[in-house]
Amino acid sequence: MKLTASLAQVYPRLGDIEYNVKRHIEISREVKGKSQLLVFPELSLTGFNLMDLTVDIAQKKDSILLNPLLEVSKDVDIILGLVELGEDRNLYDSAFYYSDSSLKYVQRKLFLTANQRGVGYFAGGDRIDVIDTRFGKLGIVIGEDLLNPMGIIPLVKKGAEILVVVSNSVSTGYSSGKVGIPKSALKWRNLLSLYAQLCSIYVVYVNRVGFEDGLNFFGGSCVIDPYGEFVVDCPYFEESIIHIKLDLEPHGKPSHFFDFYRLYRLMMENTYED
């Protein structure tokens, strides 16, 4: 199966959901006819460091503010991020998957950042699943969920053919060997390449850019092939939209990855006494 994907490395306006929706629609129209899948970063509709705005900015799945996104998703599948107000009245850092003028799937972030836990607004999700799309099975991973293999293994076991990783990752430190590339970006690149190889699938990574209260988001969105090679890169620290064609034919069995799953099960099934 062939897929043309577009990576939208954007600079959201903090707390301005109406502007951000309009920007998403503009980009969706720009890629119409060029792309089958358009991916935005984590919290792309709301911004990251919301603090006291978090409750006011949260949207239900059927929010009228999001209706224009349903319309443009008839031409291109869209993954975007926002603060979701759940049916249980909890707030979630969520990724919505729109396709054919409907909301097909909601992935909630499983493992919250220290910042998100500290403010006490967010709840962690309790489910991760693959999405059956017209171009194959897809899994969405949000931010720090990538750091926990237990959030990835279910997707691989259920046959995901592509991992989409969205984040709000900030710049910290600089590597002496990689001019202009933050150390935090190198950490993400190493992780993404590792998962691509272990799972034998493509990994699409989309990170935001811009500043919020002293936080500098580095961008560096990219696509990694099943052999761990970076096949396309967005620039650091500036908005960018890039398109890439992917061949999602099987690239071998991800046999090594399931050793992690077996080890985890053995650890959980055994108890240890002091």
- Ordered by where they begin, the domains of the chain are 2-267 (3.60.110.10)
Q: In the predicted model, what is the mean pLDDT of the chain?
A: 90
Residue in 116, 222, 208 with CA at minimum distance from that of residue 170: 208
The band of 121, judged by pLDDT with boundaries at 50, 70 and 90, is confident
The strand pairing partners of 39, in sequence order, are 7, 79
Average pLDDT, stretch 72-96? Answer: 97
User: Is 251 a residue whose pLDDT tops 70?
Assistant: no
Average pLDDT, stretch 20-45? Answer: 98
User: Is 176 a residue whose pLDDT tops 60?
Assistant: no
Average pLDDT, stretch 123-127? Answer: 94
**CA atoms within a 13 Å half-sphere pointing along the CA-CB vector of 165:** 27
Taking a C-beta distance cutoff of 8 angstroms, is the pair 79, 221 a contact?
no
User: Is 97 a residue whose pLDDT tops 70?
Assistant: yes
**Can you tell me the distance from the alpha carbon of 21 to that of 60, in angstroms, rounded to the nearest whole number?**
15
Q: What pTM value is reported for the model?
A: 0.91
Percent over 90 (pLDDT), the chain: 74
Average pLDDT, stretch 226-243? Answer: 96
User: Is 15 a residue whose pLDDT tops 50?
Assistant: yes
DSSP notation for 159-205: T-SEEEEEE-PBP--B-SSSTT-BHHHHHHHHHHHHHHHHHTSEEEE
Number of other CB atoms surrounding residue 4 within 10 Å: 15
Per DSSP, the three-state class of 137 is strand
Taking a C-beta distance cutoff of 8 angstroms, is the pair 44, 75 a contact?
no
pLDDT digits 0-9 by tens, 144-159: 999 988 888 889 889 9
The band of 115, judged by pLDDT with boundaries at 50, 70 and 90, is confident
Per-residue pLDDT, 274: 47
**Can you tell me the distance from the alpha carbon of 60 to that of 43, in angstroms, rounded to the nearest whole number?**
14
Per DSSP, the three-state class of 56 is helix
Q: Where are the alpha helices (DSSP H) in the chain?
A: 17-30, 54-57, 67-72, 114-119, 153-157, 183-199, 258-269
